[in-house]
Amino acid sequence: MTATGAVWQNWSRTVEVQPRRIERPATREAVQRAVIAAGRAGLPIKAVGAGHSFNGIALAPGVQLDLHDLGLSGDCAGGLLAVDAERRRVTLAAGTPLHRLPALLAPHGLALTNMGDIDRQTIAGATSTGTHGTGGSFGGLATQITSLTLVTGDGSLLTVSDTENAEFLPAARLGLGALGVIVDITIQCVPAFLLHAVEAAEPLDGVLEDYLRRSAAHDHFEFYWFPHTGSALTKTNTRLPADSVRAPLSPLARWFEDEVLANGAYRATCAIGAALPALVPRFSRLAERLSGRRDYTDASPRVFVTNRTVRFREMEYALPRHAVPAALREVRALIERRGWRISFPIEVRSAAADDLWLSTAHERETGYVAVHRYAREDPAEYFAAVEAIMRGHDGRPHWGKMHNLDAGTLRDLYPRFDDFRMVRDRLDPERRFGNSYLERVLGP
């Protein structure tokens, strides 16, 4: 299906574009035809997922590919193309949203090894930008890929796996959309499991002192710190077998705490804080007092994922894990020194080292520090100052979030940066899948 271009915006409303035309292919052959036609017309072509990247990585000024219909025809169920029960692997259409996966995997007794706290992204968009959850022994979502199929710059299909075109796999599993259009992805799953979740407010200084130990000792540990307070909201999730006893939150408690307080009331306080910044510290301290302990056990997706409806902007940096406590202390001192009123919390997570060439956790145990601003507030000054701190600790920016780095700087942060560029030269020599963001971060 083809349509004339309308203005497209990402979820955070930080970028927009009016494509020359929009294609909605339902088959891989239709994707091939679209790529070939765009090349003949001299137009760049980009696949767009759910628009959850905070920068311009998905901007498509030429032809925009909407892949949500891909793989939905025929016998496949909601984007699930194949299941290898023996090896616990599933093949998914690229445009399949993450929030659809629990229902697709449950009949087969499977689950994703790890998840982030947002599930609105598509599987191809999430893996291509380096989406990750938390867990010192677990990699990001892209590390779970065992194979994928690309439509390359000349319109041909290329299967990349550990047995076929394996030399491309470390680049293609986290490819920024620069190597081609992904049409399907095979994910290594695990048997379905439960998570025992413990959420509690604790003194920030103590959490920072113990961050390295807890990140290593617990399956999934993270915390949030609301500026202007002395407390951190810690979240510790322990993996349990699927046949363990469940003790989920009651529907009423989940609705009130996650929807009424965390979304409805929080949206109101952010809006008031944007208009009257002097009130922000009071609101933050109120949130600190209201943060009680929660202890529950449920299926892993219901614990990993949180529904978030308050619109915001985000910058996240990956640091050598040991540097996280010092970096956060510097950010705390920065906020106090500048007198800023920051209504959104700072989030701290972790991930295991991996071998993906452009992974933010490439070859090092990693900690993540994410800063946010409410969508009605200008994040530029805050983000730039925090970015300077993160760069001082050898930080790498999240590919799908806001940052100011370019190829010249990023090359020094990634030992295999030029190897990735060589793969790009082979698969897309004419830069049919390029845009202004990719030119900035990868070079021409």
DSSP-derived secondary structure letter, 345:
P
Averaged confidence pLDDT in the chain: 93
The CATH number of residue 300's host domain is 3.40.462.10
Ramachandran angles phi, psi of 262, nearest 5°: -70, -25
Task: Indicate the residue among 191, 214, 248 that finishes a domain.
Answer: 191
Residue 441 belongs to some domain of the structure: no
Query: 355 and 220, same structural domain?
Result: yes
Query: 212 and 107, same structural domain?
Result: no
- Provide the pLDDT for residue 101: 96
pLDDT tens-place string over residues 236-284: 999 999 999 999 988 876 776 677 566 666 787 877 878 888 888 787 7
Residue 410 belongs to some domain of the structure: no
Residue 73 belongs to some domain of the structure: no
Residue 173 belongs to some domain of the structure: yes
Residue 40's alpha-carbon distances to 58, 339, 429, in angstroms, are: 21, 55, 15
**What burial letters (b/e) apply to 277-308, b meaning 16+ CB within 10 Å?**
eeebbebbeebbeebeeeebbbbbbbbbbeee
Query: 46 and 18, same structural domain?
Result: yes
- Residue 269: helix, strand or coil by DSSP? helix
Does residue 71 contact residue 81 with C-beta atoms inside 8 Å?
A: yes
Query: 208 and 167, same structural domain?
Result: no
pLDDT tens-place string over residues 349-402: 999 999 999 999 999 999 999 999 999 999 999 999 999 999 999 999 999 999
Residue 177 tokens read as 């959309």
Query: 199 and 182, same structural domain?
Result: no
Residue 384 tokens read as 């730039």
CB-based burial label for 16 (10 Å; 0-12, 13-18, 19+):
exposed
Residue 358 tokens read as 């452009």
pLDDT tens-place string over residues 427-438: 999 999 999 999
Residue 71 belongs to some domain of the structure: no
Q: Which of 359, 366, 373 is nearest to 393 (CA)?
A: 366
Residues 6 or more apart whose CB falls under 8 angstroms from that of 312 comprise 12, 344, 372, 373, 374, 375
- Provide the pLDDT for residue 309: 83
Residue with the two structure tokens 């090896």? 87
Residue 436 belongs to some domain of the structure: no
* Calpha distance 19→4 (Å, rounded): 8
* Calpha distance 164→158 (Å, rounded): 9
- Provide the pLDDT for residue 213: 98
* Calpha distance 307→118 (Å, rounded): 7
Residue 47 tokens read as 């696949």
- Provide the pLDDT for residue 275: 84
Angle at 113 between CA 177 and CA 293, to 5 degrees: 115
Q: How many domains does the chain divide into?
A: 3
Query: 351 and 251, same structural domain?
Result: yes
Query: 7 and 100, same structural domain?
Result: no
Does residue 54 contact residue 402 with C-beta atoms inside 8 Å?
A: yes
**What burial letters (b/e) apply to 361-397, b meaning 16+ CB within 10 Å?**
bbebbbbbbbbbbbbebebeebbebbbebbbebebbb
- Provide the pLDDT for residue 253: 67
Query: 230 and 120, same structural domain?
Result: no
- Provide the pLDDT for residue 351: 98
pLDDT tens-place string over residues 155-173: 999 999 999 999 999 999 9
Does residue 45 contact residue 38 with C-beta atoms inside 8 Å?
A: yes
pLDDT (average), residues 141-146: 98
Beta bridge partners of residue 188, listed in sequence order: 89
CB-based burial label for 7 (10 Å; 0-12, 13-18, 19+):
exposed
Query: 261 and 280, same structural domain?
Result: yes
- pLDDT grade for 300, boundaries at 50, 70 and 90: very high
Long-range Cβ pairs for the range 154-158 (8 Å, 24+): 154/36, 154/39, 155/32, 155/33, 155/35, 155/36, 155/39, 156/32, 157/28, 157/32, 157/183, 158/427
Query: 373 and 278, same structural domain?
Result: yes
Residues 6 or more apart whose CB falls under 8 angstroms from that of 34 comprise 23, 25, 45, 63, 65
pLDDT tens-place string over residues 98-143: 999 999 999 999 999 999 999 999 999 999 999 999 999 999 999 9
- Provide the pLDDT for residue 282: 80
- Provide the pLDDT for residue 43: 97
Query: 111 and 238, same structural domain?
Result: no
**What burial letters (b/e) apply to 310-320, b meaning 16+ CB within 10 Å?**
bebbbbbbbbe
Residue 23's alpha-carbon distances to 31, 93, 331, in angstroms, are: 9, 16, 44
Q: What is the pTM of this model?
A: 0.95
- Provide the pLDDT for residue 75: 53
Residue type, 345: P
Instruction: Look at residue 319 and tell me whether its pLDDT is greater than 90.
Output: yes
- pLDDT grade for 343, boundaries at 50, 70 and 90: very high
The CATH number of residue 140's host domain is 3.30.465.10
Instruction: Look at residue 311 and tell me whether its pLDDT is greater than 60.
Output: yes
- Provide the pLDDT for residue 179: 98
Q: Which of 383, 230, 388, 395 is nearest to 324 (CA)?
A: 395
- Provide the pLDDT for residue 74: 53
- Provide the pLDDT for residue 334: 98
Residue 201 belongs to some domain of the structure: yes
Query: 205 and 157, same structural domain?
Result: no
Angle of helix 266-275 versus helix 280-290 axis, rounded to 10: 160
The CATH number of residue 27's host domain is 3.30.43.10
Residue 422 belongs to some domain of the structure: no
Instruction: State which residues form the domain around 7.
Output: 2-66
Q: Which of 68-77, 102-111, 231-240 has the lowest mean pLDDT?
A: 68-77
* SS3 readout for 104-157: HHHHHCEECCCCCCCCCCEHHHHHHCCCCCCCCCCCCHHHHEEEEEEECCCCCE
CB-based burial label for 344 (10 Å; 0-12, 13-18, 19+):
buried
**Percent of the chain, pLDDT > 90?**
85
